[in-house]
């Protein structure tokens, strides 16, 4: 019996390799309308040698084993209109993976807000569009404004 339910809207295979914890470090660039950062995933491995994640509108900069800094092979596999699959080859002992990435300025899951649209009218902002079709493709990017 599977521990995790199958999500028909996702490429992930959590019953093979699941994520148990995420540390996210992002830098917001309002001028270029991008987020750049790293996601550090702690894994629960049962039978899989590949971690498969949902992605959309991302440039993958680097993927590495977080414990020993070795680079992990990866590829983005074209999906459908809702996103693609990021497939990461895991080493035998890999228990955590760090992914460095940058969003596209046209990332569908991000809504960029002009200063005139914000409460103070001076600072820009952004919000994540976490409707179902985007939410599984992106970790929530919380609304923020520059100081």
Domain residues of the chain, as ranges?
17-105
User: Could you tell me where the beta strands, DSSP code E, fall in the chain?
Assistant: 17-29, 34-45, 50-55, 58-65, 74-80, 83-89, 96-103, 110-113, 125-128, 144-145
Retrieve residue 80's tokens. 């459908």
Residue 28 clears pLDDT 90, i.e. is over it: yes
| Each residue's pLDDT tens digit, 66-124 | 999 999 999 999 988 778 999 999 999 999 999 999 999 999 888 899 999 988 899 89
Confidence of residue 38 (pLDDT cuts 50, 70, 90): very high
CATH of domain 17-105: 2.60.40.1730
Give the three-state DSSP class for 71.
Answer: strand
Confidence (pTM): 0.83
């Amino acid at each position: 019996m599977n521990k995790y339910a199958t999500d028909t809207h996702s490429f992930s295979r959590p019953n093979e390799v699941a994520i148990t914890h995420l540390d996210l470090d992002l830098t917001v660039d309002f001028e270029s309308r991008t987020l750049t950062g790293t996601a550090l995933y702690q894994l629960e491995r049962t039978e899989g040698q590949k971690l498969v994640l949902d992605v959309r509108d991302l440039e993958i900069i680097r993927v590495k084993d977080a414990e020993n800094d070795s680079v992990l092979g990866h590829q983005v596999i074209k999906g459908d209109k809702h996103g693609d699959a990021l497939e990461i080859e895991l080493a035998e002992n890999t228990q955590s993976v760090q992914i460095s990435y940058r969003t596209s300025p046209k990332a569908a899951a991000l809504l960029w807000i002009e200063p005139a649209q914000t409460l103070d009218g001076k600072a820009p902002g952004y919000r994540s569009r976490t409707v179902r079709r985007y939410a599984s493709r992106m970790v929530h990017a919380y609304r923020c404004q520059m100081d």
